[in-house]
Structure 1
Amino acid sequence: MSTSSVSLSPSPSAAPVTPAANAGYALLILTLINLVNYLDRYIVAVALPGIQQEFQINDTQAGLLGTMFILVFMLASPVGGYLGDRYPRRLMVAGGVLLWSLATGASGLATSFVALLVARAVIGIGEAGYGAVAPSIISDLYPREKRTRMLAYFYIAIPVGAAAGYGLGGWLTQAYSWHVAFFAGGIPGLILGALAFFMPEPKRGAMDGPNAETKLPFLVGIKGLGRNAAFWAVTAGYTLMTFSIGGLGFWMPTYLVRERGMLADDSGFRFGAITAVAGLLGTVAGGWLGDKLDRKREGGGLWMSGVGLMLAAPCMYLAVNLKDVGLTFVAIGAAQFLIFLNSGPINAAIVNCVPPAFRAFAMGLNVLCIHLLGDAISPTLIGNIADASSLHTAIAINAVPVLLGGVALLIGARLFRSAVPPAEATA
């Protein structure tokens, strides 16, 4: 089998059809860790007013807390992936979680803005060590026909964890202080990090049959990944989607206050609640439908993702052009549901179209791309468009990347179908 092949799926009748032993325990621990991951990320957003008041920092400096985290996280992710392909992944997960949880607690101990900035950077390192390897572990615990659904369960943690971060962080900051909010945010990770040491360590490619390549020289893997058209098409679609939802999440509450006349706390609560509900329902539905469509046709889940993004684009456009505020929230909810459909199928497509021995690095590289060209720059670019015209226009234009992302995923689905043997051939 060529090491530069797009797919390294097993030969017929070679792949297991049942999950590995203790797969449920590992999936539960990884999902709870992912929830704490996003809880930690969003506590700082609601703690920001108190931090600014205590350290007397302006909005630009406050924004550095988010920028520093995302920059370190995306740059460290390929490194975490490289190590995850070569060393025991459960140790990478446990070490990463413990590191970022200690850094979260250290954020609460910070007595200066610089100390807090360093702590946020360390959180990015810890999360990079975990985020790149967790999907590859799940792919080695579950057979291919179940991966989309299992990865969807894993990614449920994104909307739920974000909502928990807003809720817990807001309550603790209001009732006590932002210091206490960070202390509380670090405790669950310490517990889960300890439990992660007892997760199973599946063999790389365990669910891809005996012909799956489990060892691959790094330069050979890079060469093969560079020619992997399916991987790059999926990454392009994922990046465009991340660009758009990153900008939407950053600016939509402000739009509701500035142009719809809502109160800040009311707009934040409603938008957060819609994100949590639509994200949860969309992620679960996407995992179930993705597995079902993948069994009917190779790349079916990815095709669904592309169609979902193309349908989400007009919903995003309508959200800022409907006069009634209630209908605006309906359009926002519909757009987010259609976008979150993609969490399981997109990530399943990534792990399925690269060699088992190179999955963690591929996930890390994907993380770098979607953030570097996605939500790391979209808030600023949308702000520039808003300064030149209006926030209404900027958010309406933000529907275009979603539409283009849908097109890229449909192209990726076609490339995926032509490169990967049908799932039933490996059952």
Structure 2
Amino acid sequence: MRWRVLGLLFLARIGIGFQFQTVASVSDDLVVAFGLDYVDIGFLIGLFMAPGLFLSIPAGYWGRYVSDRIMVVFGLGALALGGAASSLATESWVIGIGRVFAGVGFLFTSLYFTKMVADWFEGREIATAMSVLVMSWPFGIAMGQVGHVWLAQTYGWQVPFQAASVYCLIAALGVFLLYRPPHDLPDATGGAWVALTRQEWSLLLCAAAAWGVFNAAYVIYLAFAPKVLEGHGQTAIVAAGIISIGSWIMIFSGAVCGQIVDRFGGRNGVLAVCMGGAIAALLLLGLPGAGVGASILFGLIGMAPAGAIMAMAGQAMRPQVRAFGMGMFLTVYYAIMWITPPVAGAILDATDNPRAPLWLAMILFFAVVPLGFAFQLFRGAPVVGHERKV
């Protein structure tokens, strides 16, 4: 049963990546249509993350009173609404409003999809399950990298936003009709409040920072790597297609990496090897004619440990505090994700070199490794703190 549930959540969560990728895929059209620069594009990309800074903790708290299923349906509906609003824009600020609405949906879906999988797979193949779940994000992005560019060039920049919104509405209906929680889940709704221990706080912060810098580096790659290939003479569609290769490959490499960590352990060693691969791929991307090889290396090795990193969140907390803890987890994650795209855009504007933002991505990938070691250190420490019930 839990694998059927995972399949449902995977298909529904594709909508997050599909909606997120819209701005990056039509960025050149938006620059022309609204007179934007790439700092503005980075800001619009980052706005997708902004609501998480303010709503992650309340969203986790509301999980004590509202079912996970309804929270996800609400989130997917907000994603659809945000995309529809952006598609109707005649001024750039309207696109920003749409991105904020979509960002609210991103927050709720990210929090409760992760909680659902942790509830179903705690103590049994959780790294594999999280790998499968988080691969829905690059799956949706890869769909957008190819599909959105074609739709924009054929029908206009508005249509990718609309297509992503339709997908999110269908996903919301599927979750509403088909999702059921596990029967043996401890009741975490209403009643007394159970606090995080000090050890859980330490583990949570390490996991959140690792997940944040890992995804921030990936977003920089998605937004600026195609421009590196365009500088080597590729068309926009061909460049998007080459970069999307990595996103398609990581769907499978992530599941394999999750299995390796579940069966044999050694997560920190896996992180060190894979982050080295990610950095090598970004360096290789700068060589003329090496785009396909760099994208394959990036997807096969560099992005493979996504599920193993996300599994740290599930392992950091007890089920009773998981909804609130995921709210804190996402607050840190969103702070990192909100800041980095505008910084990367500013680097491009300042240098006029599309390779320059990728150096920031390399630094962020490198930071994953010490955060993974810190998580392991805190996990092995004695439990300090106590459960507080009020």
Structure 2 SS opposite 1:362: helix
Corresponding position: 1:278 with 2:249: yes
User: Residues of 1 paired with 2:220 and 2:289: CA distance?
Assistant: 20
Corresponding position: 1:40 with 2:19: yes
Partner of 1:75: 54
The 1:162–1:306 alpha-carbon spacing in structure 2 relative to 1, beyond 3 Å, is same
Question: Given the two structures, how large is their TM-score scaled by the length of structure 1?
Answer: 0.77
Deviations 1:230-253 (A, max 9, x none): 333333333332343333333322
Deviation of 1:96 after TM superposition, in Å, equals: 1.3
The 1:419–1:378 alpha-carbon spacing in structure 2 relative to 1, beyond 3 Å, is farther
Contact kept, 8 Å, 2:86 with 2:161, in 1: the verdict is: yes
Partner of 1:116: 95
Structure 2 SS opposite 1:123: helix
Corresponding position: 1:395 with 2:358: yes
The 1:49–1:402 alpha-carbon spacing in structure 2 relative to 1, beyond 3 Å, is closer
Contact kept, 8 Å, 1:290 with 1:304, in 2: the verdict is: no
The 1:74–1:90 alpha-carbon spacing in structure 2 relative to 1, beyond 3 Å, is same
User: Residues of 2 paired with 1:269 and 1:103: CA distance?
Assistant: 26
Deviation of 1:352 after TM superposition, in Å, equals: 1.9
> Structure 2: which 5+ residue stretches go unaligned?
384-390
Contact kept, 8 Å, 1:310 with 1:406, in 2: the verdict is: yes
User: Residues of 1 paired with 2:129 and 2:159: CA distance?
Assistant: 34
The 1:237–1:305 alpha-carbon spacing in structure 2 relative to 1, beyond 3 Å, is farther
Deviation of 1:131 after TM superposition, in Å, equals: 1.0
Partner of 1:268: 240
Q: Which of 284, 290, 296 is 1:319 aligned to?
A: 284
User: Residues of 1 paired with 2:306 and 2:323: CA distance?
Assistant: 17
Deviation of 1:319 after TM superposition, in Å, equals: 1.9
> Structure 1: which 5+ residue stretches go unaligned?
1-21, 294-299, 421-427
User: Residues of 2 paired with 1:75 and 1:400: CA distance?
Assistant: 27
Query: 5 Å matches for 1:60-99?
Result: 60-99=39-78
The 1:371–1:388 alpha-carbon spacing in structure 2 relative to 1, beyond 3 Å, is same
The 1:329–1:238 alpha-carbon spacing in structure 2 relative to 1, beyond 3 Å, is same
Q: Which of 211, 221, 228 is 2:195 aligned to?
A: 221
User: Residues of 2 paired with 1:396 and 1:61: CA distance?
Assistant: 20
Corresponding position: 1:237 with 2:210: yes
Q: Which of 128, 153, 156 is 1:177 aligned to?
A: 156
The 1:53–1:149 alpha-carbon spacing in structure 2 relative to 1, beyond 3 Å, is same
User: Residues of 2 paired with 1:333 and 1:231: CA distance?
Assistant: 32
Corresponding position: 1:287 with 2:258: yes
Partner of 1:362: 325
Structure 1 SS opposite 2:66: coil
Deviation of 1:129 after TM superposition, in Å, equals: 1.4
The 1:56–1:330 alpha-carbon spacing in structure 2 relative to 1, beyond 3 Å, is closer
RMSD: 3.3
Structure 2 SS opposite 1:195: helix
The 1:359–1:279 alpha-carbon spacing in structure 2 relative to 1, beyond 3 Å, is same
Q: Which of 315, 321, 336 is 1:373 aligned to?
A: 336
Partner of 2:305: 342
User: Residues of 2 paired with 1:378 and 1:99: CA distance?
Assistant: 22
Deviation of 1:200 after TM superposition, in Å, equals: 4.2
Question: Given the two structures, how large is their TM-score scaled by the length of structure 2?
Answer: 0.84
The 1:82–1:403 alpha-carbon spacing in structure 2 relative to 1, beyond 3 Å, is same
Partner of 2:106: 127
Of residues 53-62 and 348-357 in structure 1, the stretch that sits farther from structure 2 once superposed is 53-62
Deviation of 1:176 after TM superposition, in Å, equals: 1.8
Q: Which of 405, 409, 415 is 2:368 aligned to?
A: 405
The 1:243–1:66 alpha-carbon spacing in structure 2 relative to 1, beyond 3 Å, is closer
Letter in 2 for 1:160: F
Corresponding position: 1:247 with 2:216: no
User: Residues of 1 paired with 2:284 and 2:155: CA distance?
Assistant: 36
Contact kept, 8 Å, 2:275 with 2:369, in 1: the verdict is: yes
Q: Structure 1 vs Structure 2: percent identity of aligned residues?
A: 18
Residues paired across the two proteins, number: 383
Letter in 2 for 1:373: I
